């Protein structure tokens, strides 16, 4: 058994109270233990928070965590798998991201290349693929797998249900779709009726095994913070759909002066609220991670009571907490005071 050496730094806060800082630290959505271990090996070995995030998310892509990260899972309506990913440096506030990327499996590495070698924040679609390949990543390659094709085929046999369309009429059971001539509109907004005319909660479309994201935060030995995400998006999404994964402030956000946040769940709803930006700004104003996470989730739940999602918050001192709605959430942590990854369970 190895011996882990770590340092606990004590500094004096603005209120004169001693604060213990324990790092390095790795925090990730879900029990993606191998991804956390990969990030920990990097950061514990002296690598930067940014590089550790890349190693952790890349491991999840290679392992195809839950079938919802990396290639080979979550087919869209055409049966194709595409990749969304993001990385953010909490020191410089630089962000690199790719969305709806085809033919390239290395989402998080492509996102880092956007951050390193362009003055842009987000590249999308086939042009993101071309950029990634030009920067040395392998491709083009088929991102589908036998599992994803089998899943897609069963969905087609079920008349392409459930899906993400609303207020449309299909030419046949699987489209193409056209807007209704006379839409069923409620006062103040559109109906959420599906094609059968029955109200369908969004929670039936989104769950832990059909729409998931690894969102990882790392604090390195210098106390620098970075975050990253990777996902292949919502299963049976409409081609071209981009969720919260590559959107800074929604799926993840980091500021070394404050801390970080990672999110997972129904990205189409969550991205309307920028929950991770909200969490970090709440912590900046002095709110502890537990309350900041709970507040961000409750803001969404008040408007969308049937949404499914979660956030995990960590402040610059390494204090972490999660909050969720619509499901039981788990997140993983590796710190200097543990000998392996710990999984924390958060109840809705």
Question: Per-residue pLDDT tens for 260-291?
Answer: 999 999 999 999 999 999 999 999 999 999 99
The reply to whether omega before 176 is within 30° of 0 (cis) is yes
- For residue 187, pLDDT over 60 is answered with no
Determine whether 338 is an active site residue: no
Q: Confidence band (pLDDT; 50, 70, 90) for 173?
A: confident
207 marked among binding-site residues = no
pLDDT value at residue 204: 53
Was 206 annotated as part of a binding site?
A: no
Distance CA 320, CA 164 (A): 34
How many helices (H) and strands (E) are present in the chain, helices listed first? 8, 18
State the average pLDDT for the chain: 89
Query: What's the pLDDT score for residue 180?
Result: 86
**pLDDT score of 12:** 38
Residue 84 among known ligand-binding residues: no
- For the CA atoms of 83, 89, 95, 100, the dihedral, rounded to the nearest 10 degrees, stands at 0
Does position 185 have pLDDT exceeding 60, yes or no?
Answer: no
Q: What pLDDT sits at residue 189?
A: 45
pLDDT over threshold 80, residue 249: yes
Catalytic residue among 29, 81, 82, 213: 213
115: region left, alpha or beta (phi > 0 left; psi from -120 to 50 alpha): alpha
- What whole-number percentage of the chain has pLDDT above 70? 85
Share of the chain above pLDDT 90, in %: 81
As a whole number of angstroms, the distance between CA 275 and CA 251 comes to: 8
Label residue 21 by pLDDT band (50, 70, 90).
low
Q: Which secondary structure element, helix H or strand E, spans residue 60, and what is its range?
A: helix 49-63
What pLDDT score was predicted for residue 212?
74
257 is in an annotated binding site: no
Cα–Cα distance for residue pair 115/184, rounded to 1 Å = 44
241 is in an annotated binding site: yes
User: Is pLDDT above 70 for 138?
Assistant: yes
**Beta strands, E only, the chain:** 7-12, 18-23, 25-29, 83-89, 95-101, 122-124, 168-170, 177-179, 185-186, 189-190, 214-219, 225-231, 252-255, 259-265, 309-315, 320-325, 329-334, 342-346
Of the pLDDT bands very low, low, confident and very high (cuts 50, 70, 90), residue 321 is very high
Question: Is this structure's pTM higher than 0.85?
Answer: yes
pLDDT tens-digit series, residues 98-115 = 999 999 999 999 999 999
Find how far residue 75's CA is from the centre of its chain: 17
- According to the model, what pLDDT value does residue 19 have? 45
User: Is residue 137 pLDDT above 50, yes or no?
Assistant: yes
3-class SS letters over 214-260: EEEEEECCCCCEEEEEEECCCCCCCCCCCCCCCCECCCEEEECCCEE
Whether the pLDDT of residue 184 is over 70: the answer is no
Radius of gyration (C-alpha) of the chain in whole angstroms: 20
Among 6-20, 22-36, 121-135, 138-152, the least confident range:
6-20
pLDDT (0 to 100) of residue 318:
96
Q: Is 44 annotated as belonging to a binding site?
A: no
Q: Give residues with Cβ within 8 angstroms of 90, minimum separation 6.
A: 49, 224, 225, 226, 227, 254, 255, 256, 260
């Amino acid at each position: 058994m190895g011996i882990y050496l770590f340092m606990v730094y004590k500094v004096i806060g603005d209120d004169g109270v001693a604060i213990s800082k324990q790092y390095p630290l790795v925090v990730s959505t879900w029990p993606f233990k191998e991804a956390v271990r990969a990030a920990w090996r990097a950061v514990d070995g002296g690598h930067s928070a940014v590089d550790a995030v890349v190693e952790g998310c890349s491991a999840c892509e290679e392992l195809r965590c839950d079938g919802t990260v990396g290639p080979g899972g979550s087919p869209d309506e055409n049966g194709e798998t595409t990749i969304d990913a993001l990385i953010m440096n909490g020191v410089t506030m630089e962000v690199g991201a790719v969305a709806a990327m085809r033919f390239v499996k290395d989402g998080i590495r492509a996102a880092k290349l956007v951050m390193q070698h362009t003055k842009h924040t987000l590249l999308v679609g086939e042009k993101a693929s071309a950029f990634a390949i030009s920067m040395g990543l392998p491709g083009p390659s088929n991102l589908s797998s036998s599992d994803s094709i089998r899943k897609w085929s069963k969905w087609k046999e079920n008349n392409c249900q459930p899906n993400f369309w609303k207020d449309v009429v299909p030419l046949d059971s699987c489209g193409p779709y056209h807007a209704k001539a006379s839409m069923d509109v409620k006062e103040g907004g559109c109906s959420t009726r599906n094609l059968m005319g029955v109200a369908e909660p969004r929670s039936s479309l989104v769950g832990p095994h059909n729409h998931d994201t690894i969102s990882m935060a790392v604090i390195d030995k210098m106390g620098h913070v970075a975050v990253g995400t990777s996902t292949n998006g919502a299963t049976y999404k409409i081609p071209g759909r981009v969720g919260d994964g590559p959107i800074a402030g929604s799926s993840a956000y980091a500021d070394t002066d404050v801390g970080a946040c990672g999110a997972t769940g129904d990205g189409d709803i969550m991205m309307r609220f920028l929950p991770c930006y909200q969490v970090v700004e709440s912590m900046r104003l002095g709110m502890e991670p537990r309350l900041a996470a709970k507040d961000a989730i409750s803001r969404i739940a008040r408007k969308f009571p049937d949404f499914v999602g979660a956030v995990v918050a960590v402040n610059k001192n390494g204090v972490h907490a999660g909050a969720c709605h619509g499901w039981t959430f788990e997140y993983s942590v590796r710190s200097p005071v543990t000998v392996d990854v710990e999984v924390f369970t958060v109840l809705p």
